[in-house]
Amino acid sequence: MQKCSIIMYHYVRELPYTRYPAIKGLKTSLFKEQLAYMSKHYTFVCAKDLMEAAWNGAELPENAAWLTFDDAYADHYTNVFPILDEMGIEGAFFPPVKAITEHEVLDVNKIHFILAANEDVRPLVADIYRLLDEHREAYRLESNDHYYRKLAKANRFDPAEVIFIKRLLQVELPENLRNVMTDVLFRKYVSDDEEAFSRELYMNEDQMRCMVRHGMHIGSHGYDHYWLDSLPPDKQRMEVEKSLEFLARIGCDLENWSMAYPYGAYNDSLVEILKEKGCKLGVSTRVDIARISKKNAFSLPRLDTNDLPKDRNAAFVCPVRENE
């Protein structure tokens, strides 16, 4: 079975010189170093190469690598696109449509910047506890300790208290309450002008059209950036269709389109809708080197940028222990 290292990026910016240096991202200078490292040890491929490999058995080069960029940040246009264009590398970019067309800030991004604005998260946790107390009766909420014990589990990127905040505000609470609490915290710690912040944070349609004209691949990332496996099939279909309308509007090839699942979340009903709509590839956030085949075309894992060296002179090391 053919293999490809699919690399996932989010923020790419010179972090020390931005208003939010604590945001978790990759410095542009280190992105250049990583590309130089990969140029020595990998062969960059494009979306159509993977589609041909998956569906028609076309051969991929040894140590193939595909670069993917989620969430359509302005970083991708100002910092990433010029570098890729100069190097002749096709990047794959996955925009959440609502953020671009309705100038709202995704809840996940609100949480990123709320956290980045708080070097010490203890006052933030105290604010969250107060908000839970305010809404406990109306929403029949569990105790604050219950949520902390359940959700505060450190992972490879974040300490326990940060995971508690993310999970509580992203998935654990009812959607309406999550939105209310996140909005309160965003206005307090980040900005009371969401539209202005959104226009600064994300690319716009004209920038994405420019990238399409220059050979970049733009795929689907849904419309609302929901956990798509949590939606019933009719809402999954709406998310896909509204995203495809946007891709058509900016000039994408809808005969050869791909999807990056928000939060890496998908299920069988979503995959059936994607197949019906002619999607060729689906990428998740599961960490591994991708095996490219028809069977695996809609469940492709990715590597995080942090899984690869950011030094052009680093020796090659396989980023994961492969399980054959």
Q: What is the pLDDT of residue 218?
A: 98
Q: Which residues of the chain have pLDDT under 50?
A: 323-324
Spatial separation of the C-alpha atoms in residues 191 and 145, rounded to whole Å? 29
Q: Tell me how many degrees the CA angle 155-159-165 measures, rounded to the nearest 5.
A: 100
Spatial separation of the C-alpha atoms in residues 21 and 185, rounded to whole Å? 19
Spatial separation of the C-alpha atoms in residues 310 and 312, rounded to whole Å? 7
Spatial separation of the C-alpha atoms in residues 229 and 239, rounded to whole Å? 12
Spatial separation of the C-alpha atoms in residues 196 and 219, rounded to whole Å? 25
Put simply, whether the predicted model's pTM sits higher than 0.85 gets the answer yes
The full DSSP string for 91-135 is EEEE--HHHHHS----HHHHHHHHHHT-SS-HHHHHHHHHHHHHH
Structure token pair of residue 201:
């944070």
Of 122, 97, 103, 124, which Cα lies nearest the Cα of 113?
124
Spatial separation of the C-alpha atoms in residues 216 and 60, rounded to whole Å? 19
162 within 8 A of 141, measured Cβ to Cβ: no
Spatial CB neighbours of 319, under 8 Å, sequence gap ≥ 6: 5, 289, 303, 307, 308
Q: State phi, psi for 40 to the nearest 5 degrees.
A: -80, -35
Q: What is the pLDDT of residue 155?
A: 86
111 within 8 A of 182, measured Cβ to Cβ: yes
Strand-pairing partners, residue 7, are 67, 303
Spatial separation of the C-alpha atoms in residues 220 and 278, rounded to whole Å? 12
Of 66, 67, 49, which Cα lies nearest the Cα of 58?
49
Stated length of the chain: 324
Q: What is the pLDDT of residue 171?
A: 87
93 within 8 A of 211, measured Cβ to Cβ: yes
**318 burial level (CB within 10 Å; 0-12, 13-18, 19+):** exposed
Q: What is the pLDDT of residue 321?
A: 64
268 within 8 A of 301, measured Cβ to Cβ: no
Task: Please tell me the number of Cα atoms within 13 Å of 225 on its side-chain side.
Answer: 20
Spatial separation of the C-alpha atoms in residues 280 and 146, rounded to whole Å? 42
